[in-house]
Amino acid sequence: MVSTSLPGNKVSDEAILHMVKLLSLFYLLIGVGCLATGCLTLKYAAPDISFPYSTGSGLWTGLLTVINAGVGGFLCRFYDSRNPAATKCLVITLYTLVIIDITCGTLHVIYSALGMRKCYSDIRTGHMSCNPEERPRILLTGGFNAAFGIIIAIISIVFTIYISLRQRLHILTGLVTNDEQQGKLVTCCFGKCICYLQGCIVSRNGT
Decide if 76 is inside a domain: yes
165 touches 183 (CB < 8 A): no
Q: 3-class SS at 186?
A: strand
User: How many domains does one find in the chain?
Assistant: 1
pLDDT tens for residues 89-140?
888 888 899 999 999 999 999 999 988 887 777 666 656 667 667 777 888 8
Domain that holds residue 162: 17-182
Q: How many CB atoms lie within 10 A of CB 203?
A: 8
pTM over 0.75: no
In a domain, 203, yes or no: no
Domain-located, residue 41: yes
List beta partners, residue 194. 187
- Give Cβ neighbours of residue 9 (< 8 Å, ≥ 6 apart): 166, 167, 176, 178, 180
112 belongs to a structural domain: yes
130: left (phi over 0), alpha (psi -120 to 50) or beta: beta
CA nearest neighbour of 149 among 59, 76, 42, 17: 59
Task: Specify if 200 maps to a domain.
Answer: no
pLDDT of residue 123: 61
Question: Is 192 inside any structural domain?
Answer: no
Q: Please give the backbone phi and psi of residue 177, each rounded to the nearest 5 degrees, phi first.
A: -125, 150
Give the 3-state DSSP-derived string for 25-79, with helices as H, strands as E and coil as C.
HHHHHHHHHHHHHHHHHHHHHCCCCCCCHHHCHHHHHHHHHHHHHHHHHHHHHHC
- Phi/psi of residue 52, each to 5°? -95, 0
Mean pLDDT split into 10-residue runs, the chain, 207 residues: 42 80 91 92 80 85 93 84 75 89 93 84 63 77 91 92 81 61 44 48 45
Residue 194 included in any domain: no
Quote the crossing angle between the two packed helices 13-45 and 135-164, to the nearest 10°: 160
Instruction: Outline where DSSP puts E strands in the chain.
Output: 3-4, 186-189, 192-195
pLDDT at 3: 38
187 within domain boundaries: no
Q: What's the CA gap between 145 and 111, in Å, rounded?
A: 9
